[in-house]
Structure 1
Amino acid sequence: MIFSSWPALLVVDIEGKGTNPPDLVEVAALPVRDGRPDKDTAGAWLTKPNRPVTPFAARVHGLTNQVLDGKPSWREIEGVVHGLLGTAWVAAHHAHVDYRVLRAHLPQWQPAGVIDTLRLAKAAYPGLPTYRLDALIEHASLDLSDAPGQRHRAAFDAYAAAQRLITMADQYESWDQLVAIAVPPGLPGATKPEQKPTLW
C-alpha cells in the first residue's frame, strides 16, 4: 500500500456516559499521515454530559462524574471538534456507532467517507472467536508503547485502531481496494453497487 496516496484521514473514538441515546464524555481524533499516527496534530476532549455518567460506564473508562465536573459542555467544544474533523475521511472500530453518535452531536458534519476497522479485521483475520479491540491488539501483536493514556480512553483506543488500520492496509494494493472492503454499506464513501442494464 502506498500510504502517500491516501486522502486526509482521522481515526476517531468516543466514550459515552452509558445511556441511550448516547451522551458524549470524551472524543479523540488522530490523523494518519504517510502511514503513521500523527499525535502532534491529534485532538482529545473531555466534556461534561447533561446527565450523570452511569456507574457501569465509569468503571469501563474511568471517567466519573467527579473527573468530568468542571469540564466544558459539548456546546463549548463542538466547534473545535468539527473544525479538526472537517470533511476528511474518518476511521473507527465499529465505525457505524461512532459515526452515528458524532453525527447526532454534529448535525452539519459530513465526512468524505467512513472506514470500519472491524470490517477490515474480519476480512484480514477470518475465523477469530472475537473481534473486540483487546483481542485484535493481542492477535496482531501491536506495539502500543507510544499510545497516549490508557485502554478504554478515547485517545488510546484511537491510536490502537490507527495501528490496526495501518497494519491491515498492507494487504491491499490501493486505497480503492481498501475502501471496497472497509466502508459499511449506507455510510459515506461506500461503493455504490453497479446498476444492472435495462432496456431503457
Structure 2
Amino acid sequence: MNFSSWPALFVVDVEGNGTNPPDLVEVAALPIRDGKPDKSTAGAWLTKPKWPVTPFAARVHGLTNQVLEDKPGWEEIKGAVHELLGTAWIAAHNAHVDYRVLSAHLPQWQPAGVIDTLRLAKATYPDLPKYSLDALIQHATPDLSQAPGQRHRATFDAYATAQLLITMADRYESWEQLVAAAVPPGLPGAPEPEQEPTLW
C-alpha cells in the first residue's frame, strides 16, 4: 500500500456518559501521516456532559463525574474539535457509532468519508470468531508500545484502531480497494453502486 496516496484522515474514538443518546465525555482524533499515527498533531478532549455519567459507563472507561467535574462543556470545545477534523476522512472501529454521535454533536460537520475498521477486518480476516477491538489486537498484534492511556479511553482506542488500520491496509493495493472494503453503504465516501445497464 502506497500511504502517500491517502487523503487526510483522522482515526477517531469517542467515549460517552452511558445515556441514550449519549453525551460525550471524551473525544480523540489521531491523524495518520505517511503510514504512521502522528501523535504530535493529534487532538484529545475531556468534556463534562450535561447529564451525569452512569455507573456502568464509568466502570468501562474510568471517567467518573468527579474526574469530569472541572472539564469544559461541549459548547466550549466543539469549535476546536470541528476545526481539527475539518473535511478530512475519519476512521473508527464500528464507525457507525462514532460517526452518528459526532454528527449529532457537530451538526455542521461533514467528513469526506468514513472508514470502518470493523467492516474492513471482516473483509481482511474473514475467518475470525470475533471482531471486537480486543480480538483484533490479539489477532493482528499491532505495535501498541506508544499507545497513550489505557484500553477504553479514547486516546488508546484511537491509537490501537490506527495501528490496526495500517496493518490491514497492507493487504490492499490501493486506497480505492481499501475504501471498497471498508466504507459502509450509506456513509460518506461509500463507492457508488454500479448501475445495471438498461434498455433506455
User: Residue in 2 aligned with 1:154?
Assistant: 154
Partners in 2 of 1:198 and 1:118 — Cα distance?
35
User: Residue in 1 aligned with 2:99?
Assistant: 99
Percent identity, please.
Answer: 82
User: Residue in 1 aligned with 2:168?
Assistant: 168
Partners in 2 of 1:96 and 1:63 — Cα distance?
23
Once the 2 structures are TM-superposed, how far is the Cα of residue 199 of structure 1 from its aligned partner? Answer: 2.7
Partners in 1 of 2:47 and 2:65 — Cα distance?
11
Partners in 1 of 2:59 and 2:174 — Cα distance?
41
Once the 2 structures are TM-superposed, how far is the Cα of residue 153 of structure 1 from its aligned partner? Answer: 0.3
* Deviates most, 34-43 or 134-143: 134-143
**Deviations, residues 82-126 of structure 1 (Å, cap 9, x unaligned):** 000000000000001100000000000000000000011111111
Partners in 2 of 1:197 and 1:143 — Cα distance?
47
Once the 2 structures are TM-superposed, how far is the Cα of residue 50 of structure 1 from its aligned partner? Answer: 0.3
User: Residue in 1 aligned with 2:71?
Assistant: 71
Alignment pair present for 1:2 and 2:25: no
Q: TM-score, normalised by structure 2?
A: 0.99
1:30-109 matches, cutoff 5 A: 30-109=30-109
* Residue correspondences, number: 200
Q: What RMSD over aligned residues (CA atoms) do the two structures have, in Å?
A: 0.6
Partners in 2 of 1:178 and 1:38 — Cα distance?
20
Once the 2 structures are TM-superposed, how far is the Cα of residue 129 of structure 1 from its aligned partner? Answer: 1.4
Q: Read off the aligned partner of 1:79 and give its amino acid letter.
A: G
User: Residue in 2 aligned with 1:15?
Assistant: 15
- Gaps of at least 5 residues in structure 2 are none
Secondary structure at the counterpart of residue 151 of structure 2: coil
User: Which aligned segments of 4 or more residues in structure 1 are displaced greater than 3 angstroms?
Assistant: none
Partners in 1 of 2:140 and 2:166 — Cα distance?
11
**Deviations, residues 39-94 of structure 1 (Å, cap 9, x unaligned):** 00000000000010000000000000000001000000000000000000000000
Partners in 2 of 1:138 and 1:199 — Cα distance?
51
Q: Read off the aligned partner of 1:143 and give its amino acid letter.
A: D
Once the 2 structures are TM-superposed, how far is the Cα of residue 187 of structure 1 from its aligned partner? Answer: 0.2
**Deviations, residues 139-181 of structure 1 (Å, cap 9, x unaligned):** 1112211001111000000000000000000011100000001
Q: Read off the aligned partner of 2:133 and give its amino acid letter.
A: L
Partners in 1 of 2:199 and 2:19 — Cα distance?
51
